[in-house]
Amino acid sequence: MNVFDPALAARYVAAGASFVLLGADVAILARGSERLARIAAGLVTRPEAGP
């Protein structure tokens, strides 16, 4: 089973599923990229607004 909800994954395991995939590689990659973008944005200095 491939699920994205931890509670649903737990229900499948409790029901006897022997293999449950929680999440997807593309989603994990996207969240990691978003985190790095937030970090990088904090490193950039922006010029003050002019008159």
For residue 27, being part of any structural domain is answered with yes
For residue 12, being part of any structural domain is answered with yes
Q: Identify the pLDDT of residue 49.
A: 64
Domain around 18: 2-43
For residue 48, being part of any structural domain is answered with no
Give 1-51 pLDDT, tens digit per residue.
Answer: 889 999 999 999 999 999 999 988 898 899 999 999 999 998 887 777 666
Q: Are 4 and 21 in contact (CB under 8 A)?
A: no
Count the domains in the chain: 1
For residue 33, being part of any structural domain is answered with yes
Q: Identify the pLDDT of residue 27.
A: 86
Q: Which of 43, 7, 4 is nearest to 24 (CA)?
A: 4
For residue 50, being part of any structural domain is answered with no
For residue 51, being part of any structural domain is answered with no
Residue 37 phi/psi, 5° resolution? -65, -40
